[in-house]
Amino acid sequence: MRRCVITVGDLGEFGVIARVSRRLPQGEAVLLGPGDDAALVSAPDGRVVVSTDVLIEGRHFRRRWSSGYDVGRKAAAQNLADVAAMGGVPTAIVVGLGMPADLPVAWVDELTDGFRDECALVGASVAGGDITRCDTVVVAVTVLGDLQGRAPVKRSGARPGHVVAVAGELGRSAAGLALLQSGRDPYEGEAKLLEEAVGVHLRPSPPYARGPEAARLGASAMIDVSDGLLQDLGHVAAASGVRIDLDPESFAVPEAVLAAARELEADPLDWVLSGGEDHALAAAFPPDVALPPAWRVIGGVSEGEGVYVRGRVTGPGGWDHFR
Amino acid sequence: MRRCVITVGDLGEFGVIARVSRRLPQGEAVLLGPGDDAALVSAPDGRVVVSTDVLIEGRHFRRRWSSGYDVGRKAAAQNLADVAAMGGVPTAIVVGLGMPADLPVAWVDELTDGFRDECALVGASVAGGDITRCDTVVVAVTVLGDLQGRAPVKRSGARPGHVVAVAGELGRSAAGLALLQSGRDPYEGEAKLLEEAVGVHLRPSPPYARGPEAARLGASAMIDVSDGLLQDLGHVAAASGVRIDLDPESFAVPEAVLAAARELEADPLDWVLSGGEDHALAAAFPPDVALPPAWRVIGGVSEGEGVYVRGRVTGPGGWDHFR
């Protein structure tokens, strides 16, 4: 019996838009949702945080590894994390989609549900979007957020004497990617831990609430760890005009990373220091700030430049999209 | 002598970002520009208008026909026009770019200048963005705007007895596209007029200021004419639950459209009624509104449904990205 798959081309542009819109509940911050030339989103303190990210099939995700739902969760997560890294609370995202005509509509449904569910974690909604035809799947997300009256926590405020701390776990996404690339069945061996690493790679879990928390605590600088801890702290060091020293002994290497390292005979610290896409938050705080347990101090700020590990200077060691 | 072309891949992700950022002045509305996890834009009345559009090389533009500058102007214009169509004033755009590594950096410079110059027309700035590698050029623009305390002008407010009016010219972009597709040299024949049509196709000129003007005048519904007048007014008719009758005798068919129709032996009215991408504004107004000369009345609203021309119902007749 031939199974009939409904594609994006079957429904057409406006059919897909109508179908997607029906799956999207709108939160309080959305004053006017999908269906007009533009959406209208509340910006309570008279300013709006905005960030954008583009994900390209074959580069940021593979449909063989990631379901539509995974891609929606991940694309939303990496944008929402950017708002958290400024100390803000996300209010809405808008999504631009490029898709081939033969893409099953079920995949778009899943993608939409992924956006919806990740946004729901922070009380945000998908307020609008655009779809168009493209040979590969392109997902362009822009996120809006609210600083609740606070100053943005920039990359440039770290000062000598401040501590560097991380909220969220590092290395699991890179370990998961390495497992996927190895072609091993992640359900073998230390199944549950390996599965966790792969799961984090496909659907990261940024510690969203820690961003506004850090801002309230008085963080002097903050960044979303998307390209690898060394590279991202390199941006903080450069923007702040300071040196950052990291002490790997103070890191909490996740069990899943240790398990993947055993499985693949790799160095777990490489993934922790240089792996991207975990979307943990790294921040600098004045030394007198009493940090809640979710923040783990991993280093300190001094005069100078660059990022050092055990006293040795490090290269960028992260991800450059053209290198 | 071999000419050395510097490519995006030569500079790398962060090199391109730094280079692009240096070309972008920031307006007053941008409280924090490129260089951090997110930008911060003022939203004076506590709300922000937001819209997004994705342009794909080969579908929305061809590098053979459009310079980088043209693409920047056009991508910005179609987004800025969406804010105008809500009655708002654009404040900032953010841009997501997918590019092949062998793309000349000069093309990206031009693209950036195109964004900058089109935004400057309305006092907006490029507040941030993201770049990544992609086999084809992908340009994802999100625009933010301010309603200056007014209610948004939606598609759904047209009522029986209202008039339908247009600001800006219709048909030139479609005529220009037809000229490009014909392969004729646009500089032959009625050179200046044909060149104008091609120019509008490559770089539309939306009547931005007419959007807030219409809102102040009390427009009951408004839309950016991006997919063709009939299709876009079809959205207004459907959202408002009304019938719209158009009188083609009242249209001002641009000279450039007439010239292109002579050149290609085509019906100029087809381009005026169904051609997309001119980004004129179409709006409904209560009958007692005294319209300034920039607004030309082209029809009326009555009870019923659909869009009629000379009393005959019309199909969508516009552009569907999957049809």
- What digits encode the pLDDT tens for the residues B5-43? 999 999 998 899 999 999 999 999 999 999 999 999 999
**In the predicted structure, residue B121 carries a pLDDT above the cut 80:** yes
Do the beta carbons of residue A199 and residue A173 sit within 8 Å?
no
Query: Is the Cβ pair A49, B38 closer than 8 Å?
Result: yes
CB contact under 8 A, A132 and B16: no
At B229 the pLDDT is 95
Q: What is the pLDDT of residue A290?
A: 97
Which of A36, A137, A138 to mutate to test binding with chain B, by most B CBs within 10 Å of its CB? Answer: A36
* Confidence check: pLDDT of A294 > 60: yes
* Banded pLDDT at B317 (limits 50, 70, 90): low
DSSP-derived pairing of the beta strands A280-285 and A306-309? unpaired
Q: What is the mean pLDDT of chain B?
A: 93
Q: Environment class of residue B73 by beta-carbon count within 10 Å: exposed (0-12), middle (13-18) or buried (19+)? A: buried
State residue A206's pLDDT score.
Answer: 97
When mean pLDDT is compared across A83-87, A314-318, B72-76, the lowest value belongs to A314-318
d(CA A82, CA A50): 9
Does residue A323 have a pLDDT over 60?
Answer: no
Report the pLDDT value the prediction gives residue B311, as an integer from 0 to 100: 87
Mean pLDDT of B266-293: 95
What is the pLDDT, as a whole number, of residue A66?
Answer: 93
Q: How far is CA B261 from CA A76, A240, B175, B194, B197, in A?
A: 47, 60, 7, 10, 11
CA distance A209 to A244: 25
Residue of B61, B142, B224 to mutate when probing chain A, most A C-beta within 10 A: B142
The model's pTM: 0.94
Question: For the ranges A117-126, B160-169, B260-269, which has the lowest average pLDDT?
Answer: B260-269
Is pLDDT at A320 greater than 70 in this prediction? no
B149's tokens:
């305390």
Predicted pLDDT of residue B244 = 97
Exposed, middle or buried, B183 (CB in 10 Å: 0-12/13-18/19+)?
Answer: exposed
Q: Return the pLDDT at A59.
A: 92
CB A37 within 8 A of CB A132: no
pLDDT value of position B252 = 87
**What is d(CA A16, CA A109) in angstroms, rounded to the nearest whole number?**
9
Query: Do A134 and B138 lie within an 8 Å CB cutoff?
Result: yes
**Contact list, A154 vs chain B (CB under 8 Å):** 32, 36
Please list, in sequence order, all residues whose beta carbon lies within 8 angstroms of the beta carbon of residue B185, skipping any fewer than 6 positions away: none
pLDDT at residue B186 tops 90: no
Reply yes or no on whether the pLDDT at A217 is more than 70: yes
Rounded to an integer, the average pLDDT of A154-165 is 98
